[in-house]
Every structure is written in C-alpha cells, then in structure tokens.
Amino acid sequence: MATSFGVRIAGDDLVFCAAHFLAIAPDQYEPLHGHNYRVTAELFGPLGDHQYVIDFAVIRQMLLGILRQLDHRILLPSDHPGLVICRAEEEVEVGFAGRRWVFPADDCLMLPLADTTAELLARYIGCRLIEQLASHCQVAFSRLQVSVEERPGQTALCQLEPS
C-alpha cells in the first residue's frame, strides 16, 4: 500500500491586509482597493525521524513572518512591464495608462512580480517559505501548495515542487 503524508497550516492568524490594483491591459486597470487575505499552506513529504513531516509550530512561525511583511502595505509589482515606478526617499510614484498614484514610501512594498494577482502572491509566499525551510530546517518535501483567499469563495492556489 502506497502511503503519503502532508500537513496543512491554516487559521485566523494567517492573514494579511493589503492594498493593490491590477494593471490588466495597456489601458485598463482596477481601482486601488484592498483585501483581507487568508493564507493556507500544505506541505507534503516523507516522515522524518520524529514521525512527522514538519513541526506545525515551525512552519506556522515561518509563514507568520512572511505575512507580517505583507501586512498593511500597498503591494506594487516591480516586474510589471507597463508600470512606471519611481521611488524617492519619502514617496513612491506609480504611472500607468496616463494615470498617476503617489504613496508614502514606508507604506509600499515592491514585490518581484509581474502583477499582484492572488495567484502570484501565492507563488511569492510559497517561494519565500521554501527559502526559509531550506535555510532553517532542511525539510525534505515533495510538494508545497499555498492558497491565498481574497474573499470567501475566491481563492488562488499555487503548487511548488522542488527541482
């Protein structure tokens, strides 16, 4: 009989509140708006010496640290081909399709993404989690799935597998 194992980390503490907008087409964008995002992570792999995939507390703390960095920020995609982002000492100016937004620099978080969709946020969170797992606890795993819920009934998923 084939057996596989995994852990699922979810809960009311795995949330972040952030503002964003999507630049959909050269002349189409969403208005600036925010979400109370909920995040869930599932890690699949073999049982370790202690007969579990990973200690729940370890992965929860790593995930909480990542979400704290996203919380109460304006998320800006630094790799978007159509956005012009100029960061000064105290402000960030964003230009797109003849529109201009200016935000306090301390409120902005530049993410190395093509856009700030829930799917790409899930991948970003998953990649950061994998980096932390690799540097802190060397957990062997076969797959990581991260879900980011924008609102009830609207959840994006990203599955990552080690190469």
Give the chain's residues under pLDDT 70. Answer: none
Query: If phi over 0 gives left and psi between -120 and 50 gives alpha, with beta otherwise, what is residue 66?
Result: alpha
What topology is assigned to 5-72+113-160 in CATH?
Tetrahydropterin Synthase; Chain A (3.30.479)
Sequence letter at residue 89:
E
pLDDT tens across 37-73, in order? 999 999 999 988 888 888 999 999 999 999 999 999 9
Residue 77 to residue 63: CA distance in whole angstroms:
21
User: Which residue from 40, 47, 62, 4 is spatially nearest to 148, judged by alpha carbons?
Assistant: 40
Q: Could you give the C-alpha distances from 139 to 10, 94, 103, 113, in angstroms and in order? A: 19, 40, 39, 26
